[in-house]
Every structure is written in structure tokens, then in C-alpha cells.
Structure 1
Amino acid sequence: MFTEQDQDQILAQGASLNQIDEQIQHFVNGFPYLHVIKAATVGDGLIRVPEAQLTSYTRRYDEVSGDYSLMKFVPASGAATRMFKSLFAALEGKSDKATDEFFARLPDFAFYEDLKAVLAEKGLDIESADRQAVLKALLTEEGLDYGSLPKGLLKFHKYPDGPRTPVEEHLVEGAAYANANGLVRIHFTVSPEHAERFDKLIADTKGDYEAWLAVAFDIGFSEQKKATDTISVNMDNTPFRNQDGTLLFRPAGHGALIENLNDIEADLVFIKNIDNVVPDELKETTITYKKVLGTVLLDTQQQLFRFQELLAGEDVSEGYLAEVNEFLRQQLSVLPPEQFDQWSKAEKLDYYRRKLDRPIRVCGMVQNVGEPGGGPFWAQNSDGSVSLQIVESAQIDMSNAQQKSTFETATHFNPVDLVCGLRNRHGEKYNLPAYRDPQTGFITQKSKDGKDLKAQELPGLWNGAMADWNTIFVEVPLITFNPVKTVNDLLRKEHQPA
């Protein structure tokens, strides 16, 4: 199937022939569906921290967080193209209500003054210029080029001292909870074509924010690794070839970022999407619950380490085994396979050790208000155990009425609000790719050069890429979830000055 030239290209990509063969088999056979048992709900896989205890949780976090290496990890490589879908359509003469709202409230956008200046350079007044001229000035290279920039570089929020981008909002937010003795470490994943712009933005603004917030920022960037790109195939599952005869590889989705996360040197890592930011007057609740998630993780991690110590010896008592069994079931929501009671003591001990000695994540979950995307579920794993998973609709067999019904019972939604513990009890880093589910992924249909093709995405970063982690779900308020999916989302009160 592969020529010598193909093999050289695969190796240059950083991949192996075995990996590519596996990917092609996934195209042929598809990915197995995940079997969900039930939705995780408050009191049944989902923790609700009483409001009266919030101060206690945040105080405990503040007391101990300086003892740990902290990091804020922000996936920021995606282009903002979909944000402007209705405006691109309007550029082609297909206006809708969203376009009308955009123009009716144009002065309310944080990028208004920049747009006004670009039009002025062309000799146009923003108030009298026709719609096509305004859209070109906003979306294309003739102006601000917002249609091809990543969200992180767009101006989202207005302030008296000037507008802020999401990158800047993450600096301000990170200073409040990813602050270890005055050092705030933040890592952005970026696309190579925009890396220089991110660098410039940080260089231009970092000093001002350090002076204002009285912290030192350590800002890092990384790009999605070429080796994680997946091969594309024709509709008959044979390798798709570019016009020059080379194989076509495509980025494999945000699940590939598990490799970037694996390179992070930190004890605790907070993960949040680039577009989920709010102005300063709304940050307090977000900061409170970030500290709550951190406290839950540190408390649980201490218990994990203690139980691992108890199970480390040669002669482990039945009492210890019973204690560990209760902890796994009640605290970590990990249920053993059905035949577990028939296992020998040695088999049970091996099972307990494996389940305890894994990376841990605590995931905030908001009440489901109809947003598309994943939610918290109890799901069956390949080893027969049941645990908590963040599940997307694409992972479910929607032709199965029972599975479809179970998926639709979700009371909560995944806003991508995680804190992760990446080290074992000896302080050593876990090798995170070893804890992904290679049988989770997505097949999508695309086209190139006028030809249809099939592409493959790796399991999502918080889905299959973290499938074999210890997982805890905690309810967080809906106000902590304010993503910007369309440009008009910036007109919502949560993104406008108070």
C-alpha cells in the first residue's frame, strides 16, 4: 500500500507505519461506541459544594497552593472563522437577523475603534460606509483580518484603559488562582502561522499586567505536534494523495494536545478554553470555583497517595482492601467488573493498585441549558469497570433507543473547566498518552482539490484522551461558562461593560 517514498514521508512526519496502519483500520472498522450506564447527577457522581462551605474551600486552597507548581493551560490554536459565519454569508450578499444585530450594535464591540480607524485609512466613515466595506475591513486581509485570526487575538471586552483580548483576560484570571508565591505560569497552544502575533501581544502587554497585578508571568507557547496528525483516505479507505502524489495528513483535533499537556512541568494544571472569559466584574465566581476544584483535587490526591502507601506492602489486610474498595466506589465513582467478587486477593490487589495510580482530574460541570457538546456520565470501560467520563453525542450509538434516551437525561454539561494532577505520589510525571483510550475517535468527511475524503480525529482532550484518569465531577455555576461561539455573543450582557 505504501511506497518507499510514502514510508519516508511517514517517518519524516514523526509517525510509524504501525500507527498509520492502525489509523487506516479505524477507517475500515470505525470506532466502537461508548456504552453509557446513566447520567452523572448531583449526589450520584456529581458533587455539589454547599455555598456555606465555599469560603472554607477557597481559604484552604490559598493556604497550600504556594507549596505546588501551578500552571494554566489554554488551548488557543483554533481560528475564529466560525465566529463570523453569518458575516461571511453577508459578505456574499446573504444577510440575516444576526447580521442586522451586528450592525445595529456595532459601537458596542470592543474592536469598534480599530475598525473605525481601518476604514478611516481608506477614506471611509464607519457610520456612512456600506455594509460590504465594513465587513471587508473587519474580516479580510484588507483590514483587521479577524476572519482568519485565532480567537485569542481578537478584542473581546471594553475597559476604560482600553480593550482586552482573551489572552489578556486569561492573564488577569490566572493571576488570581494559578499564582504560586507571585509566579503565574500560563501556557497557550497556538498554530504556527499565528505564533509570532501571540509573542508580540505578550511582549507588548506583559509588563503592564505584571505591574498592575504585582506578579511575574511565565508565559509559554507550543504548537500541535506534526506526529499527531492523522492520515486521510479516499471514500474506499485507500490513502488519499495530494496532486503531487504525497500522502495527506491532517491535524487530529484537540485530543492531540494530550502530547502538549504531557510536556508540561507542573503539579496542578488548570485547563480552560480560550473563549470562555468574562470582564473583571464577573470574574469573582469563576475564581472561587477554580479554587474549589483545586481543593477537591488536592484533598482527593492526598487520599489516593495514602491508599497507595497502604497497598504497597507485601501483606495487605482485608480491612485495608475494604477501605480502598469503599474509597474507589464512593469517592472516585469507580465500580469494578461484574466478576470482581470471584477474583483472588492478588487479582483484586492488582486492580486496586492500577486504579489508584493514575492521573487525576476534577471537572466543573454546569447545568444543562441546551448547549451542544459533552456531558458527565457513568460509562463502561474496556476492562469491564465503570467510571465517570465526559461523553459527546458522537461517541453514542444514537440508533440505540436506550442509549439515546440515557444520553438525553444529562442534567449537566461540560464547559471545559478542569484541574489536573499530573504527578504520582513520588513526584514523578505520569506519561499521559498511556492513559488515553485508543478506541475512541471520530471519522469525518471532508474534501480537497474537489475530491471527497475521510479524515480522522483523535479522542478529544477531555474525552478519550483522558479516559483512563481518576475523575471527579463538581457542579459549578452557569455564570462561569460564557463562551464566544459567534461574534454576537460579545453583545450579551456577560461580555459588555457593567
Structure 2
Amino acid sequence: MKFNESDLLQIQDKGLTTEEVERQIAIFERGNIKVDIQEAATIGNGISEISDEQRTKYIKDFEHKKDELDLLKFVPASGAATRMFKALHNFVSDFDPDKEELRDYLDKKGDSSLQLFFNSIENLPFYKDAIEKAKADHDHFDDLSNDAQKKIIAENVLYSKGLGLSDLPKGLVPFHKYDDIVVTAFEEHLYEAAKYADSKGLVKSHFTVGQGDKEKFEAEFNKIKQRVEEKTNLKFEISYSYQDPKTDTIAVDDENAPFRTEEGKMFFRPGGHGALIDNLNQQDADLIFVKNIDNVVTWDNLGDVVDYKKMLAGKLLELRDKTFGLISKLQGNPSDEDLKAASDFLMNQLFVKSLTGSESASELIEKLDRPLRIGGMVKNEGEPGGGPFLVKDEEDEISLQIIEGAQIDEDNPEQVKIVNDSTHFNPVDIVCSVKKPDGNTYDLEKFVDPNMSFVANKTKDGKPLKALERPGLWNGAMAKWNTVFVEVPVTTFNPVKTVADLLKESHQTAE
């Protein structure tokens, strides 16, 4: 691959090398590598079912130890709110109240979320502000038809002349309203973290944000800091990071040559949320709670969320301590019983199914001495998202993985059947242990499976291109971690993918 002088400067400015760009182009030429799913993880076979008695024990164990631990909540929060308001954008663009009735438009579109939005618009946390803004900008607002008013309100929700919510980071969109207090997803994450991630009176949270958005989050925290600290009686330490430009990936055309803009420059795109493994790698904590920015609930609905987070943390601490104990014995002069105990733990607790039973101490240590994560898994009820599976890698090692739809070989009926018959999905409810037995932090980049990168079709300036997504944060970026899955109730999963999701019971408050 030959690069011109401008290309070389562009690659250098990105913090990349020509070798890395050539490696990425080779992935386009290779195409997606489909995963080899052996089985769906189910209760008793990859997913543990925790009894009420066990849950109580794990919660108590965690609460007893948490003030001795450095805890951190890690929230990917770089997403924009645009997609959340997609249907509303289409409505504002398409609907003309002088030519048709809103009821007819909604029937024609058949979009249930848009219908819910307009049927219950008064229950949205930002409705009062939107209608006040609409009336301020339209002197004769009250004289307009109801349908015309709805369109103006929608415009004021979306655009900068009004509330401009569509242009905000998703984390700064108002999600809930308590009396006269409107609360963003960002603020709700702080209240939630205060319930399980505090240690010695301090709550540490890290948000990965988009370029240019850090100042917006800092301004929001300065505005709410006193309220949050008074309500929780805790102090908060908040840090931020960006997705590093060196994790951007080159885009190519149909011939797998670098896609070029109208100015002739190569086009690089953010490498997807998998690039955030670099951000996670910069964190130094004993336990790290990972959760998406849009998955929060109101204060009254925090019960299950908090209990099961503590349960996962308690279970993880148990697994971590057992792992460290086994490594310590294997590093000495291990007996046959020690070797068998380590092998049994890997097979029965961590579901590493490729062991022969004849591994040496060093081989067992290599499989044990890895970052450890525990993921809550929810029963499949039709929600979107990846799922838990037992997967065989290129070295014939079978392990627990979270697999997304793009990784499935849809031309293989057996693989499709396994996926269709699976019982659980991934709500991104993860607790991580990234410390080695000696207290140092693992280099998480060493545990990424680069083969789990995948190619996706996108467009730029109306032209088709192929984009490279790095191995997903909880998919290929954690592929070589040791993994345990535990069933958690669906009440712990309350994402806001569309604005109408804010009208669900878990996001409504009693006024």
C-alpha cells in the first residue's frame, strides 16, 4: 500500500503508524471472522442462578469489605441523543398540520413509540419547559390547533431555539422529574453509584465523553453538586476521558482502498465502543462497575438495581480471592490436589471447558492470571442486545463470551438455531477486577481478541463506505478475561433507546 506525503502526515497526526493502517486494511480484505458458538449459556451451564440466601450473603460480604476497597463506576457516555429522537425528527420533517391530522399521520407511520410520545407527552420530564418555550416564541400559541401545538412543542424539544435536547450528549438529557427538579441521566448515575460504589464516604465515577463535551458535563456537575452531596451525604470525585484519536480506524471503499473525502483526504472514523478498553485500561481500582449511560431508574425503583449490583460485587470478590489463592499455591510446590483444585475451579466456576485435566502448574496459572469480570444476564424478553454464549476460539479454547448479532454466521443454520434458542441477553451490567495478585493492574490490551473486529457498511457524504469496528468493549475487548455470568431480574435493566422509553413505569415518578 503506497501512501502519499499528505497521507503520511495525516496518519502521524492521528498517532497511528502506516503499519497499523495497513493492518486495518488487511482486515477489510479478510472480511469478518464469524465466531464459533458451541452452546448458548443457560442456567446451570454458564449462567449461575443465585438463591435469596446466597444473594443476602454476597451483599453482606461486599458491604463488609467495601470500605477497604478502591471502587469506581465506569460509564460510557460519549453517545449523542440524536438517535433517541430519530422518530421525532422524522415527525417534524414530515408532518404538516394544515394538510393532515396527527391521528392519521401516526396511524400511517405505525410507530408505537411515537404514538406513546404524543399520547402521554405531559408526563415527560421536560414537557413543562418545552411548552413554556413554545408559548414564549409564539404569541398566538393558544389559538393554534392541538396538532399544530404538538409540532411546535416537538420542534422546541429538538432544536437549539428551544431546549435543543437532540444536540446534547445523551447523558445530559433530562430523564426524570421530581416535583420541580429535573434530573439528567448523568445525575441519576451519581445517585445510583452512591448506593453501592462509595468507600469511606467517597464516590468515584468515570465518564467517557465525546470531544468537546467534557466542559458540558463539568458545568452540569457544578450546577448539581450541592444537591447531590446533600441528598447522599457523600463526596464525589468525577473524572472524564475521551476516545483516543489513535483508536480511530480507516474507512475503505468497495475496492478496499482508503475512502477519500471530497478534499482527497483519507477518512478515519471512531473505532466503536471497543476503543474504550484503552480508557478502562487507564483506571486504577479494585472493583470497577460498568454500566451504560442510558440505563438508570428513578429513586423509587433503585431497590433491585442496588441489591443485585452489590450481589455481583460480592460474588466477584469471592471468585477473585479463590483465584488469587489458587495462583499462590500453584506458584509454590503444588500437590496433585492443588492442581486438581485449580483445574476444577476453571472448569466448574469459570466454565473454561477446554481443559484436559493434565495441565501443568504454569499452564493453569496462565489461565487463572487474567482480569476477571462478572456479568448480570437477563432473561430474553425481546429486548435488543448481545447474549451470553460458550464460544470456541482459534486455539480450540472454549470460554464464556458476550456475542453481538454482527458476529453471528447467519449462513450457518446450526449457529442461527443456537442463537434463536438462547434464553438470556446482555444488559451491560458488569463488575470487573483488573488487579493482579501483587496489587498491580493488568495491561488490558493484552487480553483483547483482535479477530473480533468487524466490518460494517456506512455512508459519508452520501457515498457508501466500509467501516472497521474494534472488538466491542464487553465482547472482543474482554474476550480473554475470565468470565462469570449470573442471572439478574429484568427490573435491573431500564435503557432509554427512544424518547418514549421515558414514559415507562421505571422512569416515571409519583408527584
TM-score by length of 2: 0.93
How far apart are the structure 2 equivalents of 1:226 and 1:207? 35
Residue of structure 2 in register with 1:316 after alignment: 334
Residue of structure 2 in register with 1:85 after alignment: 86
Query: Would the aligned equivalents of 1:262 and 1:431 in 2 still touch at CA under 8 Å?
Result: yes
- Cα displacement (A) at 1:367: 0.5
Secondary structure of the equivalent of 1:156?
Answer: strand
Counterpart residue type for residue 108 of structure 1: N
How far apart are the structure 1 equivalents of 2:245 and 2:140? 45
Query: Would the aligned equivalents of 1:116 and 1:125 in 2 still touch at CA under 8 Å?
Result: no
Residue of structure 2 in register with 1:464 after alignment: 476
Residue of structure 2 in register with 1:334 after alignment: 352
Work out whether 1:274 is the aligned partner of 2:284. Answer: no
Deviations 1:157-201 (A, max 9, x none): 111241211111101000011000110001111112322211110
How far apart are the structure 2 equivalents of 1:460 and 1:310? 34
Deviations 1:107-159 (A, max 9, x none): 10001122123213313577655333222211112211112212111111111
Work out whether 1:412 is the aligned partner of 2:427. Answer: no
Work out whether 1:103 is the aligned partner of 2:118. Answer: yes
- Cα displacement (A) at 1:316: 2.9
Residue of structure 2 in register with 1:117 after alignment: 132
Residue of structure 2 in register with 1:446 after alignment: 458
How far apart are the structure 2 equivalents of 1:41 and 1:125? 60
How far apart are the structure 2 equivalents of 1:456 and 1:418? 25
Work out whether 1:163 is the aligned partner of 2:185. Answer: no
Query: Would the aligned equivalents of 1:126 and 1:134 in 2 still touch at CA under 8 Å?
Result: no
How far apart are the structure 1 equivalents of 2:192 and 2:337? 45
Q: Assess, with a 3 A threshold, how the Cα gap between structure 1 residues 89 and 52 changes in structure 2: closer, same or farther.
A: same
Residue of structure 1 in register with 2:101 after alignment: none
Residue of structure 1 in register with 2:48 after alignment: 47
Q: Assess, with a 3 A threshold, how the Cα gap between structure 1 residues 139 and 125 changes in structure 2: closer, same or farther.
A: farther
Secondary structure of the equivalent of 1:361?
Answer: strand
Q: How does 1:164-203 map to 2 (within 5 A)?
A: 164-203=183-222
How far apart are the structure 2 equivalents of 1:187 and 1:113? 31
After superposing the two structures, state which structure 1 stretch, 431-440 or 375-384, moved more.
375-384
Query: Would the aligned equivalents of 1:375 and 1:412 in 2 still touch at CA under 8 Å?
Result: yes
Query: Would the aligned equivalents of 1:119 and 1:125 in 2 still touch at CA under 8 Å?
Result: no
Secondary structure of the equivalent of 1:188?
Answer: strand
After superposing the two structures, state which structure 1 stretch, 224-233 or 143-152, moved more.
143-152
Counterpart residue type for residue 67 of structure 1: E
How far apart are the structure 2 equivalents of 1:413 and 1:450? 34
Identity level (%): 43
How far apart are the structure 2 equivalents of 1:175 and 1:102? 31
Counterpart residue type for residue 176 of structure 1: K
Work out whether 1:292 is the aligned partner of 2:311. Answer: yes
Query: Would the aligned equivalents of 1:116 and 1:126 in 2 still touch at CA under 8 Å?
Result: no
- Cα displacement (A) at 1:471: 0.2
- Cα displacement (A) at 1:7: 1.7
Secondary structure of the equivalent of 2:193?
Answer: helix
Q: Across the two proteins, how many residue pairs are aligned to each other?
A: 491
Q: How does 1:299-448 map to 2 (within 5 A)?
A: 299-313=318-332, 315-336=333-354, 340=356, 348-448=360-460
Counterpart residue type for residue 260 of structure 1: N
Query: Would the aligned equivalents of 2:56 and 2:311 in 1 still touch at CA under 8 Å?
Result: no
How far apart are the structure 2 equivalents of 1:374 and 1:450? 29
Residue of structure 1 in register with 2:102 after alignment: none
Query: Would the aligned equivalents of 2:297 and 2:507 in 1 still touch at CA under 8 Å?
Result: yes
Query: Would the aligned equivalents of 2:47 and 2:485 in 1 still touch at CA under 8 Å?
Result: yes
How far apart are the structure 1 equivalents of 2:472 and 2:368? 23
Query: Would the aligned equivalents of 1:293 and 1:364 in 2 still touch at CA under 8 Å?
Result: yes
How far apart are the structure 2 equivalents of 1:182 and 1:163? 26
Secondary structure of the equivalent of 1:278?
Answer: coil
How far apart are the structure 2 equivalents of 1:282 and 1:150? 24
Residue of structure 2 in register with 1:30 after alignment: 31
After superposing the two structures, state which structure 1 stretch, 412-421 or 24-33, moved more.
24-33
Deviations 1:194-249 (A, max 9, x none): 22211110011012211221111001111111010000111110011122222110
Q: Cα RMSD (Å) of the superposition? A: 1.5
Q: Assess, with a 3 A threshold, how the Cα gap between structure 1 residues 125 and 42 changes in structure 2: closer, same or farther.
A: farther
Counterpart residue type for residue 38 of structure 1: E
Query: Would the aligned equivalents of 1:366 and 1:477 in 2 still touch at CA under 8 Å?
Result: yes
Where do 5+ consecutive residues of structure 2 fail to align?
96-104
Secondary structure of the equivalent of 2:506?
Answer: helix
Counterpart residue type for residue 221 of structure 2: I
Runs of 4+ in 1 over 6 A off after TM superposition: none
Query: Would the aligned equivalents of 2:125 and 2:176 in 1 still touch at CA under 8 Å?
Result: yes
Residue of structure 2 in register with 1:252 after alignment: 271
How far apart are the structure 2 equivalents of 1:477 and 1:133? 40
Work out whether 1:241 is the aligned partner of 2:260. Answer: yes
Secondary structure of the equivalent of 1:378?
Answer: strand
How far apart are the structure 2 equivalents of 1:436 and 1:124? 59
After superposing the two structures, state which structure 1 stretch, 415-424 or 52-61, moved more.
52-61
Residue of structure 2 in register with 1:483 after alignment: 495
